[in-house]
């Protein structure tokens, strides 16, 4: 899920919070560039922090978009964190389609156009890059919980 929240300073790396039997992992922070509107305020309130409701939305300088996954375990294991991050971007059907399309693209006798073949390969490489990123985020998140 992509969310928007006001932070007092620029967040770095991965933030892990545990609350009510759940683990919240926030990562990939990007500063909001455009002026906020009422939809951004709703997204900010969605994060569940009390300070979001009273945030001054007329000043966007401290607002950041970020990805967030919520795990229903207070002590998630690495594979669970990786799967949650991957599934946040790609649902099961999308993952299967990417793999099936890549398999088709590898078959030179398939009859698909070269343009489509390149598109399917690029989708697969993007998916693999996201999986690698998910593993990096999971390692950082689990390291943060050990401190």
Give 97 or 145, the one with higher predicted confidence: 97
Read off the tokens for 56: 């001054």
When computed from its CA atoms, the radius of gyration of the chain, rounded to whole angstroms, is 19
Instruction: Give dist(CA 76, CA 138) in Å, integer.
Output: 10
Query: Which of the two residues, 60 and 80, has the higher pLDDT score?
Result: 80
Report pTM. 0.76
- Give 31's strand partners: 64
Question: Which residues fall within 8 angstroms of residue 20, CB to CB, at 6 or more apart?
Answer: none
The whole-number average pLDDT for the span 63-71 is 93
Give the model's pLDDT for residue 61. 67
């Amino acid at each position: 899920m992509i969310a928007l929240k006001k932070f007092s300073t620029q967040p770095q790396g991965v933030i892990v919070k545990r609350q009510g039997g759940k683990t919240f992992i926030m990562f990939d922070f990007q500063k909001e560039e455009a002026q906020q509107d009422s939809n951004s305020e709703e997204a900010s309130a969605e994060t569940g922090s009390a300070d979001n409701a009273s945030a001054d939305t007329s000043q966007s300088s401290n607002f950041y978009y970020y990805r967030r996954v919520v795990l229903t375990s207070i002590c998630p294991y690495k594979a669970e964190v990786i799967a949650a991050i991957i599934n946040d971007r790609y649902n099961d059907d999308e993952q299967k389609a990417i793999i099936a399309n890549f398999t088709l693209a590898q078959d030179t006798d398939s009859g698909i156009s070269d343009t489509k073949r390149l598109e399917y390969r690029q989708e697969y490489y993007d998916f693999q890059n996201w999986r690698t990123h998910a593993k990096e985020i999971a390692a950082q998140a689990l390291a943060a919980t050990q401190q």
